[in-house]
Amino acid sequence: MTPALDEARRLLRLALRDSDTFALLFPLPQATMAALGFHAQQAVEKALKAVCTKQRMEVRRTHDLAALGQIVLDHGTALPVSVDELRRLNPFAVEFRYDDEITSSMKREELDLLLRAVLSWAGTELDR
């Protein structure tokens, strides 16, 4: 394996760790959208960065999923979801964690579907 692929696989393992936490919280009615969204956002961020790393795309340090998605698209790789869908997760990185008055228009099931789509896609991209 190459160093880039090793690092990409490490990032995907970390994404799966966040996804596992999301999955543990998902069925609990008392789990807040802020907590669910944070783990979904973190998993998607790491999955996108894993693909970027494997394909040697230059990525600055960011939590902006729309920006990461655009980098992927600009390098000719299709995404499993739209950049707008990725953008909807951005507030979970910071704002929803520190402001208890902000609410999300996303539903739990939408978070789950988006997360599953991105993780599946990233796994396929790393296996290519």
> Domain limits of the chain?
3-127
Task: Supply the pTM of this predicted model.
Answer: 0.94
> What pLDDT does residue 100 have?
67
Residue 120 CA to residue 97 CA, distance in Å, equals 26
Closest C-alpha among 59, 35, 32, 31 to residue 45: 59
pLDDT score at 93: 87
CATH of domain 3-127: 1.20.120.330
- C-alpha 63/C-alpha 80 separation (Å) is 19
Q: What is the pLDDT of residue 102?
A: 63
Q: What is the mean pLDDT of residues 57-68?
A: 92
Q: Helix 108-127 vs helix 33-54: angle between axes, to the nearest 10 degrees?
A: 20
